[in-house]
Structure 1
């Protein structure tokens, strides 16, 4: 049994869109009121009732609130109850140390609500369109881009700069088969997005760089607008729209690439990169100001543009679905190690793209050389590609002797 999400673009009529915004606003209000009650009034509640504030207590008070205000009762009760459950989960995560203290939901950021699966119905209209029945709103059309599989557990309706979307969380019966496909190592970079150990180079669409320039230009326009003005709000919507479009292009490319990889390879080896540490600002502080802050900011932006973490997440669940696995290895010296003799010398990395071993003279593309080293770090007992022996990595350089490679045994195993 696996769980998958199916996301579609909604096409509501104006009256339905107004109802969707009303639902989102009321659900956001209920969440914020419940948060304020737990944060500021929990002592008064305990003294008055002798109990403690939790989901059950606040659900009872929600019933009284719906009786007192018709405009709250006009919104279906399930999304309001789901908001209280979200708050209960947020507090549980906070007390367990998994997250920070819950914060209020904001308009324009948290515009969404959730229904249970049994309350949602879907029907096919034609080859390209379907419709979903939303309680108290009716049938809303959506663009049917892929078939809906499994049993629906819940459905979330959300608003982003590109419009309203619905996401179905489904439970699918699935039997994992044996996967005997070969392994591959992948080196992630900025100039070359993905370099496979087989020699293939994959790059993100060039349109993302164009959109990044447009976004920075739009952000400069926002900086010149007066706070609270209509023109500033319009400029902010343009920035959000550009960011959302870039995100859609990136996710589409990542889905296509990861699907192709899991169809051809049974296991994938990646470097265990700490993206948060790699994109840390170099600005420093007043006592110890940083150096090359502008160039480091550009590098950070280029790294984040690649979407390394989301690529890893998509790859992991698709491999698991097909019986494969994702392995992460130590990234140290993968770009300085020769894939032919195993010598480690930083002088061998001549440039961003050129690798020339200072010990054996082996030449290759630097990213391809690193991808082969990443693949070999998966396990010491794996079959070695192309007849190479995975030599024990020994740090070499000035004044250090070159390590001797062990001879290959029968079958090419260690």
Structure 2
């Protein structure tokens, strides 16, 4: 089975290479914004499209040396991105395309055939980028970079708060293997981001709370600086680095947990949560102001920090590799229903962590009890044989041959 996966490697460019990377990202961003403005002004009148604007890029390269000095492929990919953005807009899948901004959209893409890779030591390799040269690259996949060059479809170079990185979209051949026989239900929460029906509870790494405090201090320091000053830029850089560190920690935890679950279970049941609705602001309007706005905003931050949506996505494609299925079930009363006798009542949930059934006196951790109910509903849903949908969060999308997810309306 062939699948397309992304692999990210951290780069260590020289000062001259950093300038070249920034220059290529800047020219790519300029071309994108020029093509966007051209369509916004003349698009309907002249019926501009990808083929017409591709000729415009050739004219730009002929007239401006600083544009011609950068790789043409990156500019063609920028035009492809713009075409896709307009297609999504006209299909009402996205908002109107916005201009790209410096420090936010510092990225560009090359075709895989233009990229070369060579290994120089046990921990380091080099990647060749057209018009820039060989850039040192940290081999973070345990020496598996050998033979990667032949399977690269695209290479995207992107700058974040931690520096430059390259992301390879590679074609992987997944060997056929027996689907695991295990079945598990998963409850996603705030105090305990992941709780399973087998009794395991996964929490965020220990350093997250400490770094959260450092992020708040960095944000306060940034608010006291004058915008546009060097001290403000320094404080903003520290704030961005701390945020990037938190993202990496959370992503690592979610990847590790989802991989362990996918390797040991052929059926995984989760709740069909409407995360965008759950994290909507409670501010209200001037005529009808909201209530408990600060408390609701804190809850929203906690939900988003737990990575519920990312975890479901990771589970979906990792189960697909091993032939498993991900089932999303109706979340109603999963935390109030007894997993032993089925009695449902608000009084059963004594506290955030304690569940005690008023009928059979069954006691358990509230999240684990909910996970058991989720698993039971998932098994029943599978037996009923509902139509597979690529939908782990309650947003019904078109069926796909490679889909491994079942869903039921919440």
Partner of 1:144: 139
C-alpha distance after superposition, 1:181-237 (max 9, x if no partner): 210001111111211101111111121222222222222222222222222222221
Q: Could you tell me how far 1:102 is from its partner in structure 2?
A: 0.5
> Which range moved further: 174-183 or 108-117?
174-183
Give yes or no for the alignment of 1:71 onto 2:66. yes
Task: Map residues 13-412 of structure 1 onto 2, 5 A cutoff.
Answer: 13-42=14-43, 46=46, 52-146=47-141, 147-148=144-145, 149=148, 151-380=151-380
Q: Could you tell me how far 1:43 is from its partner in structure 2?
A: 5.5
CA distance in 2, matches of 1:31, 1:292: 42
The SS at the match of 2:12 is coil
Unaligned runs of 5+ in 2: 384-410
CA contact (8 A) 2:42 2:48 kept: no
The SS at the match of 2:380 is coil
CA distance in 2, matches of 1:59, 1:271: 46
Task: Normalising by structure 1, report the TM-score.
Answer: 0.88
CA distance in 2, matches of 1:94, 1:43: 15
Unaligned runs of 5+ in 1: 47-51, 384-414
CA distance in 2, matches of 1:55, 1:182: 49
Q: Could you tell me how far 1:175 is from its partner in structure 2?
A: 4.0
Task: Normalising by structure 2, report the TM-score.
Answer: 0.89
CA distance in 1, matches of 2:61, 2:192: 56
Q: Could you tell me how far 1:126 is from its partner in structure 2?
A: 1.4
C-alpha distance after superposition, 1:238-291 (max 9, x if no partner): 221111110011111111111111122112111111111111222222222222
> Which range moved further: 372-381 or 72-81?
372-381
Q: Could you tell me how far 1:296 is from its partner in structure 2?
A: 1.7
CA distance in 2, matches of 1:236, 1:10: 22
> Which range moved further: 149-158 or 335-344?
149-158
CA distance in 2, matches of 1:380, 1:35: 50
CA distance in 2, matches of 1:38, 1:382: 48
CA distance in 2, matches of 1:381, 1:116: 43
> Which range moved further: 363-372 or 174-183?
174-183
The SS at the match of 2:110 is strand
Give yes or no for the alignment of 1:7 onto 2:2. no
CA contact (8 A) 2:355 2:364 kept: yes
Partner of 1:403: none
The SS at the match of 1:133 is strand
CA distance in 2, matches of 1:235, 1:24: 24
CA distance in 2, matches of 1:123, 1:248: 26
Q: Could you tell me how far 1:95 is from its partner in structure 2?
A: 0.6
CA contact (8 A) 2:85 2:97 kept: yes
Q: Displaced runs of 4+ in structure 1, greater than 4 A?
A: none
Q: 1:124 to 1:357 in 2, by over 3 A?
A: same
CA distance in 1, matches of 2:184, 2:7: 29
Q: What root-mean-square deviation, in Å, do the aligned CA atoms of Structure 1 and Structure 2 show?
A: 1.5
C-alpha distance after superposition, 1:340-371 (max 9, x if no partner): 11011111111111111111111111111111
Q: Could you tell me how far 1:381 is from its partner in structure 2?
A: 8.0
CA distance in 2, matches of 1:196, 1:42: 52
Q: Could you tell me how far 1:380 is from its partner in structure 2?
A: 2.4
